[in-house]
Amino acid sequence: MMPTEKRAAPSRRQPIASTELEAGSDLKLGRFGNVQSLSLSEARIILEKVIETRAAQGFAHEEKQNTTKTRDYLEIFAAFKEQSLAEGAARLVDQSNLGALEPFESAQMKSLLPTSADEAKALIPSLERKCENGSVDEDALEEHSLNGALQNYAERNHVWLSS
């Protein structure tokens, strides 16, 4: 490039890092605060159904790299590969006596499967404050250690966690 040549300006502005969204001890989810959140298992099931439906309807398309990477990620990290078990996990969390969980916290519980109250509070920092102020029952959180509850659900229904 010659010293007198100028480069074209970028076609869009560089995004500015935002501190408005945060999933720390205080949930700052902005306009996403009261939006239904999906667990990784739920997202995997929905994505697979969309792809199956499109294929059945004859939509010939080449899968984009982002979709392939998302499918691979969800295949690895989604705890429940079967819809019945994912639905059971959702019912266990939704019908629990844990207290006031935000939709984001509920999705995190279903994705991370904490085995104790301490682990849940470490993985989902907003639960620490909710346990302290009583809006989430720490004893119920300990008793409801999701991994055990979901394992029991799977055993009762002869549905096994995929490895």
State which fold the 38-156 domain adopts.
Answer: Growth Hormone; Chain: A; (1.20.1250)
pLDDT in tens, 81-137: 889 888 888 888 777 777 788 888 889 988 888 888 888 889 999 888 888 888 887
pLDDT score at 38 = 92
Residue 10 region, left (φ>0) first, then alpha (ψ -120 to 50), else beta?
beta
Cα–Cα distance for residue pair 145/158, rounded to 1 Å: 20
Residue of 161, 80, 93 lying closest to 124 (CA atoms): 93
Say what the pLDDT of residue 150 is: 59
| Residue 6 binned pLDDT confidence (cut-offs 50, 70, 90) | low
- What gap in Å lies between CA 64 and CA 149, rounded to an integer? 37
Rounded-to-integer distance, Cα 48 and Cα 43, Å: 9
Of 135, 133, 136, which Cα lies nearest the Cα of 114?
Answer: 136
Q: Tens digits of per-residue pLDDT, 23-32?
A: 777 777 778 7
